[in-house]
Amino acid sequence: MEPPLGVVPPPDRDAEPEGYVVVLDSGDRLHFLDWGGPGRDPGALLVHGLSQTGWIWAPVARRLRAALPTVSLDLRGHGLSDAPTEAYALEQLAADVVAVAEGAGLVADANAQVVVAGHGFGAIVAAMGAIALGRRCAGLVLVDGGWEDLERSTGVDVEEFLRGLDEPPEVLASMDAFLLDRAGFDPATWDADQERSARATVVETHAGRVVPATRPHALEACVRAMFEYDPQAVLARVEAPVVALVAAEDELGARRDALAAASAARTAAGHPAIAVAEFPGIGHNLMRYRPVEVSAAILAARGL
């Protein structure tokens, strides 16, 4: 079952989000971008993936803000959020989602609802956040992640996965080299938002090289949490309707099998099956390559 596609507003190129911070009981601070939007319920909370920031959602947020309140957060250890030395379990990350949803005013009272959308690792966090929000979650949108057992789908264990995360030295040789590499993923979609998103993921050193902005201990902890994720068990507990957007540059078969298993777990638990839209031949960053379709899925999730 594919999610319905409605009318998606054009992007507001002039919008500039406001940056805010939520302070947790622990004292840790979580940064988020408030893109604005009409005060309609439910709004949208957007969760980025591994080593990214809330800026990766800009192509989608610029469209959504015309229809609903839109917020994109920086996960702990990423972007402008704090990076504590521990506390990266999925349950803590889910609590962070709730804290930002509340702090941003998206669920200002017990009856308010929010659509939670996550990309890659952020889809895992979004799914956990949907459980923590309970009936305050109107819908969950999984953007190319959140339904797979990572060790099974990648064929590597967590240690090997961690060893494969390093960027080639030539890509990190300078900011220009880094941006050129990111632009090369798809020159047609490279613009000021994509450059800003890319710049937010690295720090330029005095020597002119760049290093990843995500703190190494936070990156490792998030990857370990990601490999502990049980998609069938988690998605079976999500009360809200679930939509999955599947990118696949090559083979879709294994991804379909994982989705079917997760969907079966949901129906066995008495919840609706996962609505699926596939994007064959498209890369992982669907917000960059297919922002209209991602926006449409989030808008549709409000009424599923």
Per-residue model confidence (pLDDT) at position 9: 94
Q: What is the pTM of this model?
A: 0.96
**pLDDT, tens digit, 9 for 90 and up, residues 185-202:** 999 999 999 999 999 999
Exposure of 86 by Cβ count < 10 A (0-12 exposed, 13-18 middle, 19+ buried)? exposed
Q: Compute CA distances 47 → 31, 56, 64, 158, 226, whole Å.
A: 12, 9, 14, 22, 14
85, pLDDT greater than 90: yes
For residue 1, pLDDT beyond 50: no
The average confidence (pLDDT) of the chain is 95
**φ, ψ for residue 156, nearest 5 deg:** -130, 155
* pLDDT surpasses 80 at 126: yes
pLDDT tens string 140-174:
999 999 999 999 988 999 999 999 999 999 999 99
Confidence of residue 5 (pLDDT cuts 50, 70, 90): low
CA distance 270 to 281: 33
Q: Say yes or no: domain 18-162+216-301 is CATH 3.40.50.720.
A: no
pLDDT tens-digit profile of 218-275?
999 999 999 999 999 999 999 999 999 999 876 778 889 999 999 999 999 999 999 9
